[in-house]
Amino acid sequence: MIGKEKLFARLEKVLARSKGDSTEVLFVGEEKGLTRYANSAIHQNVYENNARILVRLVMGKKIGVASGNSLVPDDLARVLDNAYEIARNQPDNPHFPGLPKPAKCRDVESFDDRTARFSPADRARIVKKIIKVSERKKFTLAGAFATSCGEIAVLNTNGVRAYQPISVAGINIVAMSDTSSGYAAGLSRHVDDIDFDLLVRRAVDKCDRAQNPRSVEPGDYEVLLEPAAVAELLEWMNYIGFGAKPFREKTSFLSGKIGRKIVSPLITLSDDAYDSHAMAFPFDMEGVPKKKVMLIDKGVAKGVVYDSFYALKDRVKSTGHAFPPDETADGPMPLNIVMSAGKTPREKMIEKVKRGILVTRFHYINGFIDTPKAVLTGMTRDGAFLIENGEIVAGIKNLRFTDSMTRAFGTAVAVSRERELVESWWSSVGCIRAPALHLGSFRFTGKTSS
């Protein structure tokens, strides 16, 4: 961690010597420790301390972007010079709106000193403790436990000065027997908020219940999707549908449907960067303050998120969802996805399932089949169970699903009162906060032999 004052002092010098009409500097720094374990033993501990410095330099409507990972003055000067040369040789971009003007960001809590200082020995003690729990059942444990801290800063010659320190703790646990596996995971900015005992018991219990799984035929089933499974579906729906680019290109399942009912009234989705129970982060990678955006309100399509580029195209204001300038190909996307809670206690949801399947999580999801209908396909993993008359009767072998998520979410029967944070590739600046979902219809199209 460098700190706001020292970091700004170094980056201000880059702006001061720029030959561009306007210039932006983005700094993303991270210190991360990762402890991996497999076969019920720690097998790897790694530490990384790195940074990305991206300079976006503008000359008229020409834009140059260059990057480095060193704050040494000569290295920063080289990145700035590279950005200048790139801009000088670019064609004009007539749609470029110019760099953002400064705006006040809300204060959010995103840093925990204990998480930032969590050591390899601290992580090892927790891993040792959870391994002991799995050994009581003679299961093996595998997974990873990471703690990190960092800081993100955006400065530009228009006066933007945004800075935020961050910390993240996350663990995933897979318990395995000869015939089954069970999964659990936890995520927080505060390592002490993660209930490691609860998580390992959950993974072990799933592994135990799933032993000697039955084979069931593909078909249309009721499903009880646990939060990890819901989040994995939402992650893909986000990628193909909740940003301005697919919306404008009419490949999004929201295109042409704003104001219309597209899923069950039980489903409400928003992008809320200020949710204090999630992974709050107040600005985007242009330094624009984030806005809460309603995506789906009680089943009705409401809107998508914007960065400054797509906001100009649609003559709206940016919602504060820009990516770094070298990662803009897919356009803006929500990074703080929140599904509103329902009224049903999670432990009571299973009682309403007559004959269905409980899904712990999915993997190998593909969302490029029919994006206007939000058709996804993927596999169950680490705990799929047959439910009959409100009770789990057996673990089942993994199934492939292929279904339209707008169709499936349109059959929602219940949404859990409790929600969990689920990690994604952007978890340093957001996450998915998801409940469990009971859907009346979900289409499984294939099965496995294991």
Tokens of 16: 């001061």
Spatial separation of the C-alpha atoms in residues 165 and 192, rounded to whole Å: 18
* Predicted local distance difference test score (pLDDT) of residue 425: 81
* Predicted local distance difference test score (pLDDT) of residue 427: 76
Tokens of 203: 């993974």
Rounded to 5°, angle at Cα 344 from 405 and 424: 45
Query: Which run of H or E residues covers position 385?
Result: strand 375-388
Instruction: Show Cβ contacts of residue 219 under 8 Å, excluding neighbours closer than 6 positions.
Output: 443, 444
For residue 23, give Cα distances in angstroms to 75, 98, 310, 437.
17, 10, 20, 46
* Predicted local distance difference test score (pLDDT) of residue 37: 98
Backbone angles phi, psi at 321, to 5 degrees: -130, 35
* Predicted local distance difference test score (pLDDT) of residue 176: 98
| CA atoms in the 13 A half-sphere facing the CB of 197 | 1
The overall pTM is greater than 0.85: yes
Q: Are the beta carbons of 223 and 357 closer than 8 angstroms?
A: yes
Instruction: Show Cβ contacts of residue 387 under 8 Å, excluding neighbours closer than 6 positions.
Output: 222, 224, 350, 353, 355, 356, 357, 358, 393
Residue 294 pairs in a beta bridge with: 270
Q: Are the beta carbons of 171 and 186 closer than 8 angstroms?
A: yes
Beta strands 22-38 and 355-370, pairing class = unpaired
Tokens of 6: 């020292």
Q: Say if residue 236 is exposed, middle or buried (CB neighbours under 10 Å; 0-12, 13-18, 19+).
A: buried
* Predicted local distance difference test score (pLDDT) of residue 449: 81
* Predicted local distance difference test score (pLDDT) of residue 307: 97
Spatial separation of the C-alpha atoms in residues 364 and 385, rounded to whole Å: 19
Cα 19 from chain centre: 37
pLDDT in single tens digits along all 450 residues of the chain: 899 999 999 999 999 999 999 999 999 999 999 999 999 999 999 999 999 999 999 999 999 999 999 999 999 999 999 999 999 999 999 999 999 999 999 999 999 999 999 999 999 999 999 999 999 999 999 999 999 999 999 999 999 999 999 999 999 999 999 999 999 999 999 999 999 999 999 999 999 999 999 999 999 999 999 999 999 999 999 999 999 999 999 999 999 999 999 999 999 999 999 999 999 999 999 999 999 999 999 999 999 999 999 999 999 999 999 999 999 999 999 999 999 999 999 999 999 999 999 999 999 999 999 999 999 999 999 999 999 999 999 999 999 999 999 999 999 999 999 999 999 887 789 999 999 999 999 999 999 986
Please name the CATH architecture into which domain 4-209 falls: 2-Layer Sandwich (3.30)
Please report, for the chain, the start and end positions of each structural domain, with discontinuous segments joined by +. 4-209, 219-447
Q: In the block, which residue shows the tokens 């318990």?
A: 175
Which of 62, 152, 54 shows the shortest CA–CA distance to 98?
A: 62
Which of 230, 237, 335 shows the shortest CA–CA distance to 292?
A: 335
